[in-house]
Structure 1
């Protein structure tokens, strides 16, 4: 049985889409899988079971990326074609069954929408498969970490939803201070390769012996293996936030000018905390739709520290009760 899986260019949406892959892998053991996605998202699929290949689809003029995909797969017969980008491609390829996502349902979280597409409720949770090489690399990177591990994602692809660096610095200091829930924790700061400069002040705020960083210097699967070990992930609404939630670690996503009802970290230990202002109020009061202003002003440090402390404490208590 063969599956062609067409998914997002964007990392966050691609992470959520792994719930669909999980469903097919669990439902049809041994299914052979070909993934088509954008270059940014491609690395998270490298350890998918029974993977025949990944077709990267960098965007091209006049839809050239779709033509490239068609030429790559048209000579194969597909038992299932899943197209989560709502293109016409699924209908012009040879196959038995086609599952196509047509637009967004704004009454549902994006993962619940994928569940509805598969007719599965509740939806399966996202899963990123990790190879042994990536786990070994995480062992090397975190081998000297003796106590708690706090992973922080202080950047995003849009300044509007990027919480102030000064507030990240204060929050990290408070959560890792004497008597705090993550006292003396090692802090791993993560982000995209082009975001390191944005995070430099946050990185340098942590004593050198208690900090490390990954900004494109390691594979996304190695980042995922690190996330599995974290006592807390704290970060803006981003693809890394969704990776953290998929890892199973306590994940606190920070929201303002994006809708937490659609993109909150969807996991047992995933939580969203948003600005005191609603999404609608933020959008109504921004300077313009093209502004480069920070729109996270009404999310205070105290609110984030309280939510983070409660999440870590709850997770630890649950772990003790399961011992």
Structure 2
């Protein structure tokens, strides 16, 4: 251990959303632990989120392999270092086999459903004041986001994809929503439309390409990395999207965020922050669970969520956040 440094091994999630929701712990440690140096372990989708973390020594991409071989591989990678602190949000036993001063390991709770931000905060005993999700971005990333979003008018951002068809609101309804919000009677009349997603989401975003003239359409689907998307979301006036990693990125970026929910539990996964809201159709999460308890059916559970209901929630969130964006 270098003099004056405090090496921290931080093991986080594979999924983007889960990694974002626990990201505030890194900021807390960076700000309050003198000499903090981070080695961050994350699955391939989430690993790029942490490349601009201050005091970063390494991001280890944690890829699963048969029979748990990924844990042995990780142990071999980190075992030679004496750690000041090991934070393990996966609840594994690896910290027991490492040289460390302290450890903080996730333990599953059997009580009432609790939001994932609070659940992560419990690992460090911070559940009474849970750190909000936060990601670090470089000046270069921020400059690129400025360039990509340059123009006149507020930005409505939509993310029409999700990791499963069951929680994906139909793309054509996103198009109707955009026309409502950006139309002559909408609260964002004269604004622009930004669309985010991975390269695999190009088809879902296709129906949005003709909502506005080309000079008012910002197409970032499959064209930017996660941190650039996060920086671009800082410039958004309003975000609407399915329960997804992008929804959590938007909330962490401080964009007023409306999350669309169906077969996922907003008690655990609602966007986190003061300028956030959720909306669902007439069925509760528990009612949807009764229809598809294992989430094994190729069935969209978002069909009963109407454009009118989402638009009303978007209008309300826009109005509630008007003073902060005046």
TM-score category of the 2 structures, normalised to the smaller one:
over 0.9
SS at match of 1:202: coil
1:62-81 equivalent positions in 2, closer than 5 A: 62-81=67-86
Deviation of 1:209 after TM superposition, in Å, equals 2.3
Report deviation, 1:178.
Answer: 0.4
Aligned-pair CA distance for 1:217? 1.8
Q: Normalised by the size of structure 1, how large is the TM-score?
A: 0.95
How many residues align? The count is 319
Unaligned runs of 5+ in 1: none
1:238-264 deviations in Å (ceiling 9; x for gaps) = 001001000011000100000001000
Shift of 1:221: 1.2
Q: Which residue of 2 aligns with 1:125?
A: 132
Q: Which has the higher helix share?
A: 1
Give, in whole Å, the separation in 2 of the partners of 1:309 and 1:77: 53
What CA distance in whole angstroms lies between the structure 1 residues aligned with 2:266 and 2:77? 37
Cα distance, 1:109 vs structure 2: 0.5
Matched-pair contact (CA < 8 Å) for 1:286–1:295: no
Instruction: Tell which deviates more after alignment, 74-83 or 264-273.
Output: 264-273
Report the equivalent of 1:86: 91
Question: Which of 212, 218, 224 lines up with 1:212 in the alignment?
Answer: 218
Cα distance in 2 for partners of 1:289, 1:110 equals 20
Question: Per-residue CA shift, 1:78-120, capped at 9, x if unaligned?
Answer: 0100000111111111101111112255521111112222222
TM-score after normalising by structure 2: 0.94
Alpha-carbon distance between aligned partners in 1 of 2:316 and 2:240, rounded to the nearest angstrom: 13
Shift in Å, 1:286? 4.0
User: What is residue 172 of structure 1 aligned with on the other side?
Assistant: 178
Which one is further off, 111-120 or 291-300?
A: 111-120
Distance 1:135 1:287 in 2: 42
* 2:22/2:116 contact within 8 Å kept: no
2:57 pairs with one of 52, 59, 75: 52
Over residues 41-81 of structure 1, what are the superposed CA-to-partner deviations in whole Å (9 max), with x where a residue is unaligned?
A: 01110111100110001111111221221111100000100
Q: Is the 8 A contact 2:205 2:221 kept in 1?
A: no
Query: Aligned runs of 1:65-214 on 2, under 5 Å?
Result: 65-104=70-109, 106-120=112-126, 121-143=128-150, 145-214=151-220
The DSSP-based 3-state class of the residue aligned with 1:245 is: helix
Q: CA deviation at 1:290?
A: 2.0
Q: Once the 2 structures are TM-superposed, how far is the Cα of residue 9 of structure 1 from its aligned partner?
A: 0.5
List aligned pairs for 1:38-49, cutoff 5 A.
38-49=43-54
| Deviations 1:188-232 (CA, angstroms, capped at 9, x unpaired) | 111122221222123343332221222332121111111001000
SS of 2:68's equivalent in the other structure is helix
Is residue 27 from structure 1 mapped to residue 20 from structure 2 by the alignment?
Answer: no
- Name the CA distance, whole Å, in 2 between partners of 1:221 and 1:128: 8
Cα RMSD of the aligned pairs, angstroms, is: 1.5
